[in-house]
Amino acid sequence: MEPRYKRIVLKLSGEAMAGEKGIGIDSSTVRLFAREIKRISEAGVETCIVVGGGNFWRGRDSKDMDRATSDYMGMLGTVMNALALQDALEQMDVVTRVMTAIEMKQVAEPYIRRRAIRHLEKGRVVIFSGGIGNPYFSTDTTAALRAAEIDAEVILLAKKGTDGIYDSDPNINADAVKFDSLSYFDILSKNLKIMDSTATSLCMENDIPLIVFGIDISENIFDAAMGKELGTCVK
Ligand code: UDP
């Protein structure tokens, strides 16, 4: 199959890394994702992954902590996910680099934009961790920002427990209707909770298309990267 994109950002939520366990890391699930990422990379698509951290910690969940401290804990959680994904990929002989938005040089490279691009040009899979390195942001915003910075053609937003964007919650409303395509303006005006508004605005302002698709079938990751129509496309 001829890939549709040359360079992509895949956003994997922390929740997805936890598999059925719901928290922590499920190594067999991570291996499934790694297998798809390997196929994408072998198809010649320059691939970066932004990992979330919700399987460990979400800053906003702690009501009695200082928010910034809590957010830093969340960012550290994303680094654990990145290392787990790196390990799974390297066991499959995929060359990877983890980059962190918060310096921890013993663990991984600090994020340097030009260096990330160089890794991609050399065919390495780049995993961005630590969010953008600032509290009060999300890893969805990180995906939008990194996609803009490295000139990715698309963001693939892999979601657990859903296969696209609906007009209402399909788990609550059996008549919920799935959208095939939407505009970023629709997301903001209809208040669809698919990404936070910062991430949505960044994508909108920088004209970065987004594909929201379900990750419960892991092969969807490869198919989405090849340009097969699935989920909801936001432009
Ligand atoms: N976070 C942050 N700044 C960032 C990215 C993430 O402070 O740039 C923190 C925030 O507390 C967030 C947590 O890291 O709740 C985990 O990220 P996120 O909730 O986006 O992960 P996901 O929901 O995708 O698993």
Model confidence at 1, in pLDDT bands (50, 70, 90)?
A: confident
Question: Is the CB of residue 137 less than 8 Å from the CB of residue 127?
Answer: no
Atom of ligand 1 nearest to the CA of 12: 24
Residue 17: the pLDDT is 96
Residue 193 has pLDDT above 90, yes or no: no
Whole-number Å distance between alpha carbons of 108 and 203: 27
Q: Domains of the chain by range and CATH? A: 7-234 (3.40.1160.10)
Residue 200: the pLDDT is 94
Residue 2: the pLDDT is 82
Residue 145: the pLDDT is 98
Q: Which residues pair with 1 in a beta bridge?
A: none
Question: Among the residues of the chain, which ranges form H helices?
Answer: 14-17, 27-42, 67-91, 113-121, 139-150, 184-189, 197-205, 219-226
> Is 126 exposed, middle or buried, given 0-12, 13-18 or 19+ CB atoms closer than 10 A?
buried
Most informative mutation of 78, 85, 146 for ligand 1 (most atoms within 8 A of CB) = 78
> Is 7 exposed, middle or buried, given 0-12, 13-18 or 19+ CB atoms closer than 10 A?
middle
Q: What is the pLDDT of residues 37-64, one digit of tens each?
A: 999 999 999 999 999 999 999 999 888 9
Q: Can you read off the two tokens belonging to residue 121? A: 């040009």
Please give the average per-residue pLDDT across 66-79, as a whole number.
98
Residue 52: the pLDDT is 97
pTM of the model: 0.96
Whole-number Å distance between alpha carbons of 29 and 9: 20
Atom of ligand 1 nearest to the CA of 70: 11
Model confidence at 170, in pLDDT bands (50, 70, 90)?
A: confident
More confident: 90 or 21: 90
